Amino acid sequence: MPVAQHLATSLSGLLWLLGTALWVWMLVDCIRRDPDRGLWLWLLILFNFAGALIYFFVRYLPRASVRPPSFLGRWVRRREVLRAEADVRHIGNAYQYVTLGDVLRETGQLARAADAYAQAIAKEPDSAQALWGAASVEMQLGRFEEAKAHLAALMAIDPDYKLGDASLAYGRALLELGELDAARAHLEGHIQRRGDPQANVLLAAVHAERGEPQAARDLLEPLIEDLKPARDPTSRRARSDAARLLRKLPR
């Protein structure tokens, strides 16, 4: 057998083994953990390896707090986008624009999502969902001044929106804008109300920016120890962020 043919056969066998392993892994995950297993089991059974790839990116990774590639989300959710666009044309209330903005944001179409949320806010200025969506997009785009304004309006309506996520994002926007005194005061108040690990990381970053490395270290070191036993994605992310910031602090 020629060497090239032998290599091609070996590679084909390896790919088949990897594909089969992925399919079995995703099948077991779907059966054990997916609340919509009925639909996804059919996809895995009918499309085999291709179905396993789709399930991995669309269902498994988001559950593991990993965002799938935006192009894949656009392809999988294309009909959802089209339906949301039709609802905007035919009804056009703030709710329909927020729904369109959400699906566009989740599929990485940030500029279009920002336009949809702006339309929703124009129709209903006190829509918490629209303000949160607009602020989320602006944070992703690095438009922190606009995000700060929308988050301030949102917190005037509901200070604990999204279980404090809006307040946390406001603190992050202040930090990114270099408003360090305001960021410190806000984050200290947030921590007193909620005891959020990620807020402690942000507050440590504020101290670092203010040239206070020891104050930052005093926040980060006990936080890392406290979060060592944690297994939920939010706590693990906070611990990883804290450790990364701690390594950057001067001795």
CATH code for the domain in which residue 142 is found: 1.25.40.10
Question: Structural domain of residue 94, as residue ranges?
Answer: 74-157
- Residues 78, 115, single domain; the answer is yes
- Residues 101, 142, single domain; the answer is yes
Cβ distance 133 to 96 under 8 Å? no
Judge whether 84 lies within some domain. Answer: yes
Cβ distance 97 to 116 under 8 Å? yes
Judge whether 126 lies within some domain. Answer: yes
Cβ within 8 Å of residue 173, ≥6 positions away: 139, 144, 147, 148, 151
Q: Taking residues 42-70, what's their average pLDDT? A: 78
Q: How far apart are CA 40 and CA 44, in angstroms?
A: 6
- Residues 129, 80, single domain; the answer is yes
- Residues 53, 96, single domain; the answer is no
Judge whether 33 lies within some domain. Answer: yes
pLDDT tens digits for range 116-152: 999 999 999 999 999 999 999 999 999 999 999 999 9
Cβ within 8 Å of residue 170, ≥6 positions away: 148, 151, 152, 155, 186
Count of domains forming the chain: 3
pLDDT tens digits for range 184-211: 999 999 999 988 899 999 999 999 999 9
- Residues 198, 249, single domain; the answer is yes
Run of H or E including 193: helix 180-194
CA 69 → CA 16, 18, 73, distances in Å? 24, 21, 7
- Residues 63, 120, single domain; the answer is no
Judge whether 17 lies within some domain. Answer: no
Query: Which of 157, 190, 215 is the C-terminal boundary of a domain?
Result: 157
> In 3-state terms, what secondary structure has residue 250?
coil
Residue 16 pLDDT class (50, 70, 90 cuts): confident
Angle at 161 (CA atoms; ends 233, 95), nearest 5 degrees: 105
Judge whether 167 lies within some domain. Answer: no
| Burial annotation 169-189 (CB, 10 A radius, 16+ → b, else e) | bbbbbbbbeebeebbbebbee
Is the pLDDT at 74 greater than 70? The verdict is no
- Residues 209, 231, single domain; the answer is yes
- Residues 200, 182, single domain; the answer is yes
Which position has the higher pLDDT, 87 or 3?
87
Q: Is the dihedral of CA 130, 118, 88, 80 positive or negative?
A: negative
Judge whether 207 lies within some domain. Answer: yes
- Greatest CA separation for the chain: 75
- Residues 151, 205, single domain; the answer is no
- Residues 100, 51, single domain; the answer is no
| Burial annotation 115-130 (CB, 10 A radius, 16+ → b, else e) | bbbbbbbebbeebbbb
- Residues 78, 137, single domain; the answer is yes
Q: How far apart are CA 10 and CA 104, in angstroms?
A: 42
| Number of residues that this document lists for the chain | 251
pLDDT tens digits for range 25-53: 988 888 887 777 778 888 888 888 888 88
- Residues 251, 183, single domain; the answer is yes
Cβ distance 136 to 150 under 8 Å? no
Judge whether 224 lies within some domain. Answer: yes
Judge whether 144 lies within some domain. Answer: yes
